[in-house]
Structure 1
Amino acid sequence: MEPAGTELAPGIRYAVTDRHGGFSGPPFDSRHLGGATEDSYQDVLRNRESTARELGLAPDRVVWMRQVHSATVARVSRPWGSDAPGLDAVLTDEPGLALAALAADCASVLLGDPVARLVGAAHSGRVGTLAGVVPNLVAAMAEAGAEPARMTALVGPMACGRCYEVPEPMRAEASATLPALWSTTRQGTPALDIRAAITAQLTAAGLTEIRHDPRCTIEDPDLFSHRRDHRTGRFASYIWLEDRSQGSVTM
């Protein structure tokens, strides 16, 4: 993770964390950022605060979602605190307000339009991808003034199509809805390719600038993976608008 994040588009920065550099003990060691596990919530809060500061963000200016594998999107202007509704995508035009999506095999998708000065973040696993959370986020941003042709997307790490094994009936049902989901593991068993499906959804929505963090969570020990480890933490993908009144958001 680079201090101050990486530029996604002019005036828009993002960061993807890994599992290192935090305070949580095993099996959540150590930069665990999710709140819905058996880990000490105080350690999670310490991890969130230190990560925000490393990125040059105010810890109280990060929007965390209560992710429920839905297609629900909301526009936000501040963090919810303890009363966050269940949803899986958010957008904002507030400079310096970071949007965070948690993952440990599902995909995080970050979107930015540098002209409209809008950013969005989505959590899209199998259920959310089939429900259309990413196209819903694109549509919500377009309604707010963004243009898909101007947007840049970053599709984050996830369980890859060669590792995400599922029962054959699940593959058949899912790929009947989204053909790009159909995949096979390296062992020849049924699988789903969430990355290919999200890419197809973004392309159909009018995006042409689609970037990838191609790491597979199951294969990469630097990332949390629920499928690999079962009891584990969550890493996060952040996106935010730089505050032009204060210059670049850096340390």
Structure 2
Amino acid sequence: MFLWRAEVQPGVSVAFTDTNAGNIALHVGDDAGAVLRRRAQVEHAAGVAPRRFQYMNQVHGNEVSLVAESGAVTESGASFESDPAAGAPQAPTADALVSLGKPLAVMVADCIPLVLVGAGASGPVLAAVHAGRPGLFSGVIPAAVGQMRASGATDIRAWLGPSVCGKCYEVPAELRNEVAAALPSAWSTTTWGTPALDLPGGAASQLDALGVPIEYRGPCTLENESLFSHRRDSRSGRFAGLVWTHD
């Protein structure tokens, strides 16, 4: 169920699911009831239940939502909508979530599931970030780190989950030039010699500039059959990056 899981500091865990956990996204045409049952299974396996992970309606932007333990958005310009399934919790439309203890989740199938943990005056400050090409380009990582620091976080550390690597993410030359003009570390070439983008490299350079060390880097989704990959299968499901506190 978990490709990788660890207690990253006393009372805080990070994990990334794999295909054994099944698809956990409600927006890919899967049966909604089955998705919610899988989410509940992940929550039980993580030891989170009866609490629930907070998901988001991801739109490849840079909006950050600050989420209360109740699940309410307490500070954000993002809209707040119901997931399209009976019994699903509400989910803010955003590409990063920050909380002071509420368990958080991000769904991906080639984009980077970035998890951040910082120390706050009253406990850990958590973040889950959906960092695909548009989000990296528009600054979703600096926006998330900025919201964490505004919430009192210090000593922020990062876990870069599995995503498509710079040797596999083929793009048109024009797109590589556009992204690399703003984020030179994202410039790459595939193993077969065509233009590519290195999303993990771009994310790493942004985190370095923000003074946030990286504790873990996941494998390539396209090269790893135990992970969902939209590039491998356009009808792919989604796996999750998760962060939670222990109650």
TM-score of the superposed pair, with normalisation by structure 1? 0.87
| Aligned partner of 2:229 among 211, 225, 230 | 225
Q: Deviations over 1:202-237 (max 9, x none)?
A: 111111x31233310000000000011111100001
What's 1:68 paired with?
59
Letter in 1 for 2:114: V
- Moved beyond 4 Å, runs of 4+: 1-5
What's 2:215 paired with?
211
What's 1:156 paired with?
161
SS at match of 1:137: helix
* Counterpart contact for 1:118–1:146, Cα < 8 Å: yes
SS at match of 2:19: coil
Letter in 1 for 2:139: G
Listed as ranges, the matches of 1:107-122 within 5 Å are 107-116=112-121, 117-122=124-129
Letter in 2 for 1:239: V
Letter in 2 for 1:238: L
* Counterpart contact for 1:181–1:192, Cα < 8 Å: yes
Take 1:59 and 1:192, find their aligned partners in 2: how far apart are those partners?
40
Take 2:13 and 2:191, find their aligned partners in 1: how far apart are those partners?
35
Change (3 A) 1:4 1:59: farther
Take 1:176 and 1:140, find their aligned partners in 2: how far apart are those partners?
26
What's 2:77 paired with?
none
* Counterpart contact for 2:3–2:17, Cα < 8 Å: no
What's 1:12 paired with?
12
Deviation at 1:7? 1.4
Deviation at 1:5? 4.3
Q: Deviations over 1:110-167 (max 9, x none)?
A: 11113542111100000000011111110100011112xx111100000000000000
What's 1:178 paired with?
183
The answer to whether residue 93 in structure 2 is matched with residue 86 in structure 1 is yes
| Aligned partner of 1:125 among 119, 124, 132 | 132
What is the CA RMSD across the aligned residues, in angstroms? 1.8
Q: Deviations over 1:35-88 (max 9, x none)?
A: 101111111011101111111112552101100001000110133653423100
| Aligned partner of 2:23 among 19, 32, 51 | 32
Change (3 A) 1:112 1:172: same
TM-score of the superposed pair, with normalisation by structure 2? 0.88
* Counterpart contact for 2:65–2:92, Cα < 8 Å: no
What's 1:24 paired with?
none
Take 2:127 and 2:158, find their aligned partners in 1: how far apart are those partners?
9
* Counterpart contact for 1:4–1:56, Cα < 8 Å: no
Q: How many residues align?
A: 229
* Counterpart contact for 2:48–2:246, Cα < 8 Å: no
Letter in 2 for 1:91: V
SS at match of 1:151: strand
Moved more, 57-66 or 116-125: 57-66
Higher strand share: 2
What's 1:27 paired with?
none
| Aligned partner of 2:42 among 29, 43, 51 | 51
Take 1:54 and 1:128, find their aligned partners in 2: how far apart are those partners?
30
* Counterpart contact for 2:3–2:16, Cα < 8 Å: no
The answer to whether residue 148 in structure 2 is matched with residue 141 in structure 1 is yes
* Counterpart contact for 1:11–1:114, Cα < 8 Å: no
What's 1:248 paired with?
none
The answer to whether residue 236 in structure 2 is matched with residue 236 in structure 1 is no
Deviation at 1:11? 2.3
